[in-house]
Chain A
Amino acid sequence: MTLNEIKTLLDGEVLNLGPGLDALVPCAIASDMISDILMSCREPSLLLTGLTNNQVIRLSDMVDLVGIVFVRSKRPLDDIVEMARERNLPLIVTSKTLYTASGLLYNAGLRSSDI
């Protein structure tokens, strides 16, 4: 599945394009707890989260995130989008909840990151 298909499935809005939306997304993780995300992210993954603070972008320095989807219309502030721009990290925002967004992607065949 590509980021572009994910954006369409979630009716999302792109906040930062990064290297573009054609990149293939191998798997995903959904969580609002940082340690939980770090523990589950052993391969390049898409992150779905309700967190919008700077530490969520900082995470992408530690593990390999192919993009972040912010759920329930939570928008990060401009300086946080700027941090993602510096890292070339795609950001998408959707009005769907964490549960719904995850369910839609799972049903479309996007698997969970291996723990």
Chain B
Amino acid sequence: MGEYWNIKPELEDSVKQHFSAPPEAEVELEFEVPEKDFNTAGRGSSEVKDLLKRLGVDSETLRRIAVASYEAEINLAAHSKGGVMSCMIYDDLIHLRFLDKGPGIEDITQAMIPGYSTADELVREFGFGAGLGLPNIQKNSDALHIQSAKGSSTLLELLIFFSAP
């Protein structure tokens, strides 16, 4: 079982606090992400961004959330047998969780390398497969956690604080 963490050093305490005792979310949303369905993939991320915009989140934070969320949502459609995207909104942060039905990532450290991609022909035709999605998620998140193993499901979750610089 592989596990990967990346937390912005200055936010370590708040992130640990969140994961050790998650409070009740103000809003919770869930979206199905079917395998290889690039007609609907991305809708969840669009909706989440719309909602946060109405809630008054600033545009730079909105962009970071939308980009990280979209990359993760597309990865479910592109590389897994489908899964669920869940979105938990709190006063000060958003927690996004992506849980799929496998086939898992054998080596997460390798998957994180910019340019590494196993995208197939169909996925590449849509313009995916640069191998930049996971690095892009890391760059835009305050905390990133990935748990996976070959032959099992992949869990990717991230936190973005609304007030973070």
Contacts and interface: CB of A to CB of B under 8 A. Distances in A.
Contacts of A58: 42, 46, 70
Interface string B55-67: 0000100010011
B42 A53 contact: no
A35 B73 CA distance: 13
Given A62-B45, A62-B63, A64-B63, A53 B38 contact: yes
Contact of B63 (A33, A35, A42): A42
B45 A61 contact: yes
B129 interface: yes
B90 interface: no
Given A33-B132, A61-B46, A62-B66, A38 B127 contact: no
B62 to A, nearest CB: 9
Given A36-B132, A55-B74, 19 more contacts: A33-B129, A34-B74, A34-B126, A35-B131, A36-B130, A38-B136, A51-B126, A51-B127, A53-B127, A55-B41, A55-B126, A58-B42, A61-B42, A61-B66, A62-B42, A62-B46, A62-B49, A62-B67, A63-B66
A34 B45 CA distance: 15
Interface of A: 32-36, 38-39, 42, 49, 51, 53-56, 58, 61-64
A61 B126 contact: no
A61 B10 CA distance: 30
Which size class do B's interface residues fall under? 20 to 34
A56 B45 contact: no
Q: Choose among B38, B46, B67, B131 the residue with the greatest number of A CB atoms under 10 Å from its CB.
A: B67
A48 B46 CA distance: 22
Given A58-B46, A61-B49, A61-B66, A35 B130 contact: yes
Given A34-B127, A54-B38, A55-B38, A39 B45 contact: no
B121 to A, nearest CB: 14
Nearest to A34: B127
A56 B46 contact: no
B39 interface: yes
